[in-house]
Amino acid sequence: MATSSDEMKTKPSWRRFRDGDQSWSSLTQKIFVQDTSHKCPTYVHKTPPCQGSCPSGEDIRGWLAIVRQQEKPPVGVDWQEYAFRRSTEANPFPSLMGRVCPAPCQDGCNRNELEDYVGINAVEQFIGDTAIEKGYGFEAGPDTGRRVAIIGGGPAGLAAAYQLRRRGHACTIFEANEGLGGMFRYGIPGYRVPRDKLDAEIGRILAMGQVDCRFNTRVGVDVQIADLERDFDAVLWAIGCQAGRGLPVEGWDETPNCVSGVAFLKAFNEGRMKVTAEKVVCVGGGDTSIDVVSVARRLGHITKTGQKDLPETVIRDGYVAHDAATAAAAEGAQVTLTSLFTRDKMTAAEHEVSDALQEGVTILDGVMPVALIRDERGRATGLKVADCQMVDGRPMPVEGTERVLEADLVVAAIGQGGDLTGLEALDNGRGLINADKFFQVPDRPGHFVAGDIIRPHLLTTAIGQAWIAVESIDEYLKQAEHKRRPKVDVHHFDLLAKMAEAEVAPEWFSVADRGDLRGTSAGNWAIHNYEDRSAAEVIPHDELFLGHFGHHPRNLRKEEVPSAEEVLGHFKERVIGLTEAEAIDEAKRCMSCGMCFECDNCVIFCPQTAVFRVAKDKRTTGRYVDTDYNKCIGCHICADVCPTGYIKMGLGE
């Protein structure tokens, strides 16, 4: 029979067997397979690698299932709101994080084994933007009468405030700046984090009530630790790392036009710095350095400058600002980014690096700073660099490769540290605060910590730490023993809770009323043939039947990236979100690793009709199919054809 034209046009994705592989290669294998008839299918829930890779601990598979229309919302709730509720169990910033998170979840996605990862960030942005458009809000839990001090109003502090209010605890945020947001507001440009979206997602947390804010207040200077211990039931340190590290070259601290990337971006994001220098050299290689060079290209420079017009004057003095008319005279700036590492090893997201190149940034990779070149006034006129090689994990210059990069402004974006002025008692000797596995400050009862002040990392990491810290605070306030954290410490799908939501939960069982009926599966008193291993196991790709999945191209978000000629003054948002239809289609690419997504393969291929669909009035996510063990012969076909790895052969062992 000839192959149909439709089949010939279909791009194959993966095959379990090659042509001719229809029999076992050895008699031993054949005998052992024939001897497995005592095994029957059971349904085993495992964590997908996207969730296992998510520092915030989001139930990614869960909200993708909702967006794809597979998991149904409760009566009276639309699917957009239901997806938002599931997403924000872990992370209250879907609109922001959908834009700026570097997405380790996508690196871990099992669909990478077929073609390309699921665009998790893109769908999350759709969920967040839709929630803002529709005005979805958060609800606080019943008031407990307890109040927690949160030091720092950045991602960790705000996420903690949200989680505390869900548990009914009031909180007061002490913020050193004039506004909330931390690195969201002061570290990331508005064309990456639109300020209307930032304000909306912060406002949703404040609208929960009993979230007081004290701005322009530095704990350790304006307020003492003893005051917090007297006035609050617990303290969460989420002060972040706002102090940038300088380059390890002689004269850095004394050179006026050498600044940190953190300070550079703060001056821009506060609206004070409106132009930069003619020749800017930034040393980095991470996301912060990309933001620095992209901002520098957009700002440009002015030819005639007085002392007050110099960018470093604005950056170093938090009260000085450029005149708004200054930007009108701006011309393009020459901007160079240097990195110790080659481009493929730079920590910045690949697409951000590509965008910077398109915008006219020169990138020199595999080089290291060697010395500052300064004039008689002590200002930097250049940065001497050299090719570098790693020797015992340390960068070493390659002799004979030195050259000078001319510079009017040198920016160091090589890392950040904490500012513990007045808080020296908390300093672990590295400018950071120690934390135990429950995010408590060791030997300080009632003090907890989250975010970059533990160790500078990703925004999503700070948000995830805040969730765990709040669980520890809640247990502390209730004088309860801390629960052991699971091996896979994320928000997991809860089948019993889902069945209760769908009003198909098992009936209450009382031994006194019914007698001891253990061992029977006839009554609806428990979830039978189901095992939850999600807290201990992440499901790998080789447990899936990848042959089920056809080629399905990723729905790419459109980007408006200016060219080198267009970049000056271009501050429009770069990322254009997916439409509803695109978001649904992208969610359908999810392979639902470790959880049934109702494909019917097991029902169709079971030769004994032992596997059957659960009755519609008893059906819900994770309970779509069941097995009649009186019919099952243990042939394991259902497990072989299960795309998601949800069916395992083992019952009866």
Residues 391 and 432 in one domain: no
Angle at 271 between CA 194 and CA 173, to 5 degrees: 70
Residue 371 belongs to a domain: yes
Looking at the chain, the whole-number percentage of residues with pLDDT higher than 70 is: 92
Note the pLDDT of residue 653: 46
Phi-psi category of residue 388: left, alpha or beta, with phi > 0 → left and psi -120 to 50 → alpha: beta
Residues 317-332, mean pLDDT to the nearest whole number: 76
Does 229 share its domain with 256?
A: no
Residue 149 within a domain: yes
In a domain, 3, yes or no: no
Residues 511, 472 within the same domain? no
In tens, the pLDDT along 57-107 reads 999 999 999 999 999 999 999 999 999 999 999 999 999 999 999 999 999
Tell whether 120 is covered by a domain: no
Average model confidence (pLDDT) for the chain? Answer: 91
E strand spans, 258-361 = 258-260, 279-284, 334-339
What confidence category does residue 508 fall into, taking pLDDT thresholds of 50, 70 and 90?
confident
Q: What is the mean pLDDT of residues 136-142?
A: 97
- Maximum mean pLDDT: which of 270-279, 500-509, 583-592: 583-592
- pLDDT average, residue stretch 137-146: 97
Q: Residue type for 488, please?
A: V
Record the tokens describing residue 484, joined without a space: 């052991």
Mean pLDDT of all residues in 620-628: 94
- pLDDT recorded at residue 131: 98
Residue 15: per-residue pLDDT? 65
Separation of alpha carbons 73 and 82, rounded Å = 6
Any idea which of 71-75, 320-324, 584-588, 643-647 has the lowest mean pLDDT? 320-324
**318 pLDDT band (50/70/90 cuts)?**
confident
Residue 652 has pLDDT above 80, yes or no: no
Residue-wise pLDDT for 376-402, tens only, equals 999 999 999 999 988 888 889 999 999
Asked if pLDDT for residue 18 goes beyond 80, the answer is: no
> Tokens 């009866």, residue?
652
- Could you tell me if 284 and 231 lie in one domain? no
Indicate the pLDDT class of residue 222, thresholds 50, 70 and 90.
very high
Contacts (Cβ under 8 Å, ≥6 apart) of 339: 283, 284, 285, 289, 346, 363, 364, 365, 366, 367
Residue 620 · residue 605 · CB < 8 Å: no
Query: For residue 7, what pLDDT band results from cuts at 50, 70 and 90?
Result: low
The residue type at 366: G
Shared domain for 398 and 298, answered yes or no, is: yes
In a domain, 64, yes or no: no
Please state the domain count of the chain.
3
Domain assignment present for residue 131? The answer is: no
Specify whether 409 is located in the same domain as 424.
no
Average pLDDT over residues 598-606: 95
Examine the domain organization and report whether 210 and 293 are in the same domain.
Answer: no
Any idea which of 47-61, 332-346, 503-517, 567-581 has the lowest mean pLDDT? 503-517
Give the model's pLDDT for residue 457.
92
Residue with tokens 């407990």: 144
Cα(278)–Cα(302) distance, integer angstroms:
7
pLDDT of residue 255: 95
* Percentage, residues of the chain above pLDDT 90: 79
- pLDDT tens sequence across 448-476: 999 999 999 999 999 999 999 999 999 99
From 27-41, 289-303, 413-427, the region with the lowest mean pLDDT: 27-41
State the residue range of the domain holding 144: 138-242+418-477
Are residues 262 and 404 part of one domain? Answer: yes
Together in a domain, 295 and 196: no
Q: Are 510 and 618 contained in the same domain?
A: yes
* Ramachandran class of 42: left when φ > 0, alpha when ψ lies in -120 to 50, beta otherwise: beta
Reply yes or no on whether the pLDDT at 31 is more than 70.
no
Give the CATH number of the domain where residue 188 resides.
3.50.50.60
Identify the residue with better confidence: 526 or 214: 214
> Is 12 within a domain?
no
Residues 260 and 146 in one domain: no
Which of 398, 414, 430 terminates a domain? The answer is 414
Judgement on whether residues 508 and 636 belong to the same structural domain of the protein: yes
Is residue 359 a part of any domain in this protein?
A: yes
Euclidean distance between the first and the last CA atom of the chain, given in angstroms as a whole number: 44
Q: What is the pLDDT of residues 238-248, one digit of tens each?
A: 999 988 899 99
Length of the chain: 653
The residue-averaged pLDDT of 342-348 equals 90
Long-range contacts (CB closer than 8 Å, 24 or more residues apart) made by 508-516: none
Which whole number is the average pLDDT over 126-155? 97
